[in-house]
Chains A and B, each alone.
Chain A
Amino acid sequence: MSRVRARVTIAVTALLIAGLVLPAGVWGGPRSELVVVSGMWSPPNNFSPFNTDSAYGYYAVRFMFLPLVESRLEENQLKFYPALASKWEVGADFQTFTFTIHPRAAWHDGRPVTADDVLFTVMTISDPRAETNRGNAVALLAGLDARGKRTPGAPIGFRILGPKQFEVKTRTPVDPQAFLYEFGSNMYIIPRHVLGDVPPDQLSRHPFMQNPTVGNGPYKFVQYKTDQYVELLVNEHYHLGAPKLRRLFVRIIPPTVMMAQIERGDMDLTAGAGIGSILIDDWDRVKTIPHVRALSFPLPGYQFVVFNFQRPYLEKRVRRAVAHAINRPLIINQLLRGEAALAEGPIPPTMPYYNKDVKPWAYDPARARSLLQEAGWDAGRTLLLRVPTGNIIRERSADIIRENLVAVGIRVEIQKTDFPTHLAAIRAGNYDLALVGWSGSPDPDVSSQFRTGAVYNWLGAMSIPLMDQLLDEGKATPDPAKRRQIYNRFQEVFADELPYVVLYYENARNVIARRMSNVLHDVSGFYQFQTYSWVAAPQ
């Protein structure tokens, strides 16, 4: 009897162990297949190429759908490479752009990708009834408003020249770089022959967005196991050459587990900054793992302290004092282990329009104290510093900022809340200082944040006439050389007025298995990897 029981126990244990080990086999497929596993922290809620909810969704979308061009940053210059389009020309008027679609570009069902599909994509995004978060991609087109929406029936600046060729016209002359970045690299083209008959207001909820089987990218959708993984298969007929990897999994996995998987060699690459990267606490450790490369590079995103401009006591001298008081070098060197850069403005140091001559205010508590004295700072006043939860480094930086401000005589009370509550409180003006992050972009036009009354101007609600004037001029000037002058001046004014104290530009901290090569990244969205170029050696 007891022997039988023992055998049963052994059998059950064996089954349990098998249960723990076998799921790993799910990634294997046939042994000979070249399989790559990528990891991100949270699940996407759909795969809509024009309206998925988050960077998580777009990470998955980018394997299956292409924009017209890919944007890459090379030595502080934005460069564009073919994706769906093989050629593009900029008109002498800085307003007309002609695109030619790659002759072999085709949908996963074999139909060619045509100018008609691009028009359909533009019409969908610009339709006031359609739900989309790609409005910015088309907002520069003639006939559309600043949110990228059209008046039904009104003509728009899009002309089909042939099955694979079209011409677009912008409302006003624009910097070609700005246009190619937004329209060219941020808009994923959708198939007209599949979605053309769906009413625009129902497109977002169409079953296709959960099961996007007809894409045009290097990988085809196989399945999505909710909250577990997205499975993708190579597109043998990809027009830029079939990828070298056969099967690809995007796993949804929390940071701690991700780190363990990387150590075990079960994960080939992290999805990227903000959606799946290496925690700062694990950074030194990941560098010691022999089978992966730890890859850090500067990102355009930055964290900042925003001042509530509705508070008269937060005047310019006080804002300057705050900039002097915060020990930003300490935050960067200790908290971020040097994996960050400092700049006194919203234009990223890695981007073409960055003004190198604007130096960040030094950490100087004595100077801060004298500025406060000049401003007649009331030592009895307590400032409310709002901090959102979720970004652990930002939360830690709040403790340092508070200590720094207290040290120069500014009393600070920290309020931590979840992110939606945090933003609601800022919108309601219920704060003095708040910590927020912004994912900067290659184009220097930052009017959405700093122009009086613009879409994101509620962050601080500043109204600085000189800044408004420069932002308007910059937007209306297509010539890159003239633009540079304008934005150089803008950055000087920014550092002087300090609507934000920029804390740091955090580097991306990614991991790529050594067996993988040719993993390039581009600057679209969150600086993601160009998926089609990936190569991997068998394990």
Chain B
Amino acid sequence: MNEGLSPQVRYPRGGTTLAAGSGHRATSIAGSAAPVPSPAVSYWTLSLRRFLRHRVAVAGLVILVLLTAMAVAAPLLAPASPTAIDATAFQAPPSPLHPLGTDSVGRDVLSRLIFAARVSLTVGLLAVGMYVVIGTAVGAVAGYYGGTVDLALSRLMDVVLSFPPLVIILFAVSVFGRPSLWNVILVLGLLGWPAVARLVRGQILTLRQQEFALAAHAMGASDAAVVLRHLLPNAMAPVLVAATFGTANAILVEAALSFLGLGVQPPTPSWGNMLTDAQSLTVLERMPWLWVPPGFMILISVLTINFVGDGLRDALDPSLKL
């Protein structure tokens, strides 16, 4: 599909110059036969450097990697099965046998905590992955074609944005009659895309007027080629940032739903459904092992993801100087 493009014009993945001040990575092709020789430092390298300089973000990333590793290796790390009931210890305080105590039906809190990381990360990544794909596609089409298409898609975004996700999820649960992890992911994925679509649309709207895009078009590149090869790669930085924050949000929504008993189904542990134990004064005041650990995990995961998001935003923003 790129037959009409000369090798020079083809967007080079790792070796473009940073067009300082323009706000975009753009191959400078207009008027010149050959591109300016690229300096050694690419956009991504530059971004990485900037990211690494953001200490909090790096710390966040490290914790996030550890959390992910914990989720993946859960069966190896957990001292007990997350569903096994210890008939002799209900709501037992921490002990050598149960390092974080047991919950209200005698299950090991630490093991549940470790396994629950799987749920939260799955929801976060899949739901956001889903809406990034949808949002990017819709945003690109709207931004690139403009006119009536844009108008129609933008109104659709407005409509979808006006749905309160929690209410839709509760509704979906009653309609399907079966709450599950997948329902939560599906609803979050199907409702979250307009935010991404708006970002992408805005980016494409400005990018499509840039010389490199016009040139690609003039050389006979198809619409799909222009959008996929030239415009989208330039529009993805803010999407990446939005996706990071979206992941944190999805984790919170899952926790809230599971707390209400309408998310992940028992006996699968999730940080949200572990918190359902904490609904009485006695537990709140005298049994902190039932709610501090899952609360802390939600806090720490959401916080670190947000830090990473901050770091990414700063690192990927070309208007910020080194």
Give A residues with C-beta under 8 Å from B. Answer: 255-256, 259-260, 263, 279, 281-282, 284-285, 327, 330, 334-335, 387, 389, 392, 395-396, 398-400, 402-403, 413-418, 420-421, 424-425, 430
Question: Is A334 a contact of B106 with CB atoms below 8 Å?
Answer: yes
Whole-angstrom distance from the CB of A335 to the nearest CB of chain B? Answer: 7
Interface residue count on the B side (C-beta < 8 Å)? 31
Q: Which residues of the partner chain B approach A399 to less than 8 Å between Cβ atoms?
A: 83, 85, 105, 107, 266-267
Q: Which of B263-280 contact A (CB under 8 A)?
A: 265-267, 276, 279-280
Q: Which of B91, B174, B262, B281 counts the most chain A CB atoms within 10 A?
A: B281
A-B contact pairs, 8 of them (CB 8 A): A282-B282, A285-B282, A389-B260, A392-B279, A402-B83, A414-B267, A417-B262, A421-B174
Q: Which residues of the partner chain B approach A279 to less than 8 Å between Cβ atoms?
A: 279-280, 282
Q: Which residues of the partner chain B approach A424 to less than 8 Å between Cβ atoms?
A: 177
Question: Is A415 a contact of B87 with CB atoms below 8 Å?
Answer: no
| Distance A284 CA – B283 CA, assembled complex (angstroms) | 11
Q: Which of B284-302 contact A (CB under 8 A)?
A: 284, 286-287
| Distance A526 CA – B267 CA, assembled complex (angstroms) | 32
Asked whether B53 is an interface residue with its Cβ less than 8 Å from the other chain, the reply is no
Question: Is B85 a contact of A281 with CB atoms below 8 Å?
Answer: no
| Distance A260 CA – B284 CA, assembled complex (angstroms) | 12
Q: Which residues of the partner chain A approach B280 to less than 8 Å between Cβ atoms?
A: 255-256, 259, 279, 281-282
Question: Is B267 a contact of A403 with CB atoms below 8 Å?
Answer: yes
Give B residues with C-beta under 8 Å from A. Answer: 83-85, 87, 90-91, 104-107, 170, 173-174, 177-179, 260-262, 265-267, 276, 279-284, 286-287
Known A-B contacts: A399-B267, A402-B83. Give 9 more (CB < 8 A): A255-B279, A256-B279, A279-B280, A335-B90, A395-B276, A403-B267, A414-B267, A415-B177, A417-B177
Question: Is B83 a contact of A403 with CB atoms below 8 Å?
Answer: yes
Given A402-B266, A415-B178, also A281-B87 (CB < 8 A): no
With CB as the reference atom, state the residue of chain A lying closest to B106.
A334
With CB as the reference atom, state the residue of chain A lying closest to B268.
A414
Q: Which residues of the partner chain A approach B260 to less than 8 Å between Cβ atoms?
A: 389
Whole-angstrom distance from the CB of B295 to the nearest CB of chain A? Answer: 16
Q: Which residues of the partner chain A approach B281 to less than 8 Å between Cβ atoms?
A: 256, 259-260, 263, 282, 285
| Distance A425 CA – B107 CA, assembled complex (angstroms) | 29
Whole-angstrom distance from the CB of A13 to the nearest CB of chain B? Answer: 27
Q: Which residues of the partner chain A approach B83 to less than 8 Å between Cβ atoms?
A: 399, 402-403
User: Which of the residues A284, A285, A416, A425 comes within 8 Å of B261, measured between beta carbons?
Assistant: A416
With CB as the reference atom, state the residue of chain B lying closest to A284.
B282
User: Which of the residues A335, A392, A415 comes within 8 Å of B265, measured between beta carbons?
Assistant: A415
With CB as the reference atom, state the residue of chain B lying closest to A260.
B281
| Distance A421 CA – B281 CA, assembled complex (angstroms) | 29
Q: Which of B178, B265, B276 counts the most chain A CB atoms within 10 A?
A: B178
Q: Which residues of the partner chain A approach B173 to less than 8 Å between Cβ atoms?
A: 417-418, 421
Q: Which residues of the partner chain A approach B174 to less than 8 Å between Cβ atoms?
A: 417-418, 420-421
Question: Is A425 a contact of B177 with CB atoms below 8 Å?
Answer: yes
Q: Which residues of the partner chain A approach B279 to less than 8 Å between Cβ atoms?
A: 255-256, 279, 281, 392
With CB as the reference atom, state the residue of chain B lying closest to A388.
B261
With CB as the reference atom, state the residue of chain B lying closest to A263.
B281
Q: Which residues of the partner chain B approach A396 to less than 8 Å between Cβ atoms?
A: 104-105
Question: Is B178 a contact of A403 with CB atoms below 8 Å?
Answer: no
| Distance A284 CA – B106 CA, assembled complex (angstroms) | 18
User: Which of the residues A403, A416, A420 comes within 8 Å of B179, measured between beta carbons?
Assistant: A416
Q: Which of A281, A400, A402, A414 counts the most chain B CB atoms within 10 A?
A: A281
Whole-angstrom distance from the CB of B274 to the nearest CB of chain A? Answer: 12
Whole-angstrom distance from the CB of A39 to the nearest CB of chain B? Answer: 14
| Distance A527 CA – B71 CA, assembled complex (angstroms) | 49
Question: Is B267 a contact of A402 with CB atoms below 8 Å?
Answer: yes
| Distance A398 CA – B85 CA, assembled complex (angstroms) | 12
Q: Which residues of the partner chain A approach B287 to less than 8 Å between Cβ atoms?
A: 281
Question: Is B105 a contact of A416 with CB atoms below 8 Å?
Answer: no
| Distance A334 CA – B179 CA, assembled complex (angstroms) | 28
| Distance A403 CA – B103 CA, assembled complex (angstroms) | 15
Whole-angstrom distance from the CB of B304 to the nearest CB of chain A? Answer: 30
Whole-angstrom distance from the CB of A419 to the nearest CB of chain B? Answer: 11
Given A256-B284, A282-B281, also A414-B266 (CB < 8 A): yes
Question: Is B90 a contact of A334 with CB atoms below 8 Å?
Answer: yes
With CB as the reference atom, state the residue of chain A lying closest to B287.
A281
Question: Is B261 a contact of A335 with CB atoms below 8 Å?
Answer: no
Whole-angstrom distance from the CB of A211 to the nearest CB of chain B? Answer: 33
Q: Which of B84, B85, B265 counts the most chain A CB atoms within 10 A?
A: B85
Q: Which residues of the partner chain A approach B90 to less than 8 Å between Cβ atoms?
A: 334-335
